[in-house]
Amino acid sequence: MNKVLPLALLAAASLAGCVDADSTRPMETAAVTGGDFTGVPARACRAAIAKQTGLSTSDVAVFDVAESEAGSTVEATVATATAPWRCHTNRSGRVSDVMYTGSEGAL
């Protein structure tokens, strides 16, 4: 019998309890999805989000940078927020907008 199959089933069963269906809980950590987290768009957006929130750039953690011909979309978590922030830049890092993706009543 294949030994990998029972181990895979055991792993799946142990992870089944990790799903949280309660969407009212504050966001704890966003999964890192990709992109250049140290590039010009990411740095510009970290600074813009920090300025918008009145926090330090160390309180802003980029977890996704999606690049297109039009520019970049950067998503980041902020220490005090329950949902991610989103920022758009052109290719040179000029920020065009910064927005909170959650309910503004939760800010």
Domain boundaries, the chain: 29-102
| SS3 label, residue 107 | coil
pLDDT in tens, 14-23: 434 443 344 4
CA distance 15 to 97: 38
pLDDT at residue number 31: 62
Q: Is the distance from CB of 76 to CB of 46 less than 8 angstroms?
A: yes
- Of residues 26 and 58, more confidence is placed in 58
Domain 29-102 - what CATH class? alpha beta
CA distance 104 to 52: 13
pLDDT at residue number 30: 59
pLDDT in tens, 27-70: 445 566 778 889 999 999 999 999 999 999 999 999 999 999 88
pLDDT at residue number 39: 93
| SS3 label, residue 43 | helix
